[in-house]
Amino acid sequence: MNTPTLVAVAHGSRDPRALPAVTALLEEVRALRPGLPVRLGHVELNEPLLTDTLGTLPTGGEAVLVPLLFGRGHHVKHDLPGAARSAAPRVRARVAAPLGPHPLLAEALHDRLTEAGWRPGPRTHRTAGVVLAAAGSRDPESTAGTRRLAALLSDRLGGVPVLAAYASAASPTVPEAVRELTARGRTRIAVASCFTAPGLFAARSAAAAPWIAAAPLGPHPALARLALHRYDQALARTAGARTADARTAEACTAGARPVRPPARTPAPAAAPPPHPHTYAAV
C-alpha cells in the first residue's frame, strides 16, 4: 500500500528568504520520518504552486495537504479543499488541520523569544508583556484560535500577559496591542512572530516591537513535529471514516438478506365449555 504524500502548503511571499526557510522546515520533516514522500506547494507568490504540485503526483496516488498556516481562515476552509477537489479523481487528496493552536506551536514561539533575548525572572514577570503577531483573518474561528495560542504561550512564559494581534484583516493590530500592554503598566514588550517564514507581515510586526522581536518560526523542530502530527491526524480520521463506512455497508447487507418466516404452529384446540355448575374466576 503506497504511503500518502505529505504536501506542505505554504502561503508564499515575495521575500527572497521565505522559500529557503520553508524548504529547511521540510528537510526537518524528512529527517524526522525518512521514507515519507514530502512535497511543497504554495497558495500564491512562489513556485511551485499547490495546483502544480498536485498535478505532478502519480495517477491513483494519495496526498495529505498540511497547511503551514496557523488558523482556520479562508485558505484552509476554501482554497485547499478546492485544490483537493480539482485534483480528483486522478489524485485522492484530503486537507489536514492548520498548525495552530497547539502546545508544540507555543514551544516553538517560546524558543524563538528566548533566542531574541527573553529571560525569565521576577523582573520579567513583573514588567514584561508579549504581543503574539499573526497574519489575521476575517474568520472568527481563526482569530479565536490565535487567542487560544496566546493563552498557551502565556502559560509557557509563567503567566506573563500575551495579547493576540494581527497584521491584517482583524484587530487589534500589533501597535494597538503594544499600546494596550503599555496602558497596563508593561514596560518591556516583546513581539512573538507567528509566521512560518520571513515576509511583509512578519517584518511589519517586528518593526512595531518596543523591546525585542522574535524571528519567524522557520525550521524549528517543534514545527516539523507538528506538521507530521497534523498529517497523522488526517490519516487517522480517514481510516476511522472508512471503518465506519465498512460497518454501515455490512449492516445494510445483513439487513438485505431474506428472512425465513417462522414455522407455523398449529392453533390450540378449543377448550371445552364450562360445566353448568362452575363459575369463572373473577
pLDDT in tens, 1-11: 589 999 999 99
- Answer for the pair 151, 119: CB distance below 8 angstroms, yes or no: no
pLDDT at 238: 83
pTM here is 0.84
pLDDT score, position 196 = 97
- Average per-residue pLDDT for the chain: 89
pLDDT at 3: 95
What value does the mean pLDDT take over residues 178-204?
97
Give yes or no for residue 230 having a pLDDT over 80. yes
- Residue 112 CA to residue 161 CA, distance in Å, equals 17
Band of the pLDDT at 162, cuts 50, 70, 90? very high
Q: Using 50, 70 and 90 to split pLDDT, how confident is the model at 268?
A: very low
Q: What are 3-45's pLDDT values in tens digits?
A: 999 999 999 999 999 999 999 999 999 999 999 999 999 999 9
CB 175, CB 189: distance < 8 Å? no
- Using alpha carbons, list the distances in angstroms from residue 18 to 24, 76, 95, 232, 271: 10, 20, 23, 26, 96
Does 109 have pLDDT greater than 70?
A: yes
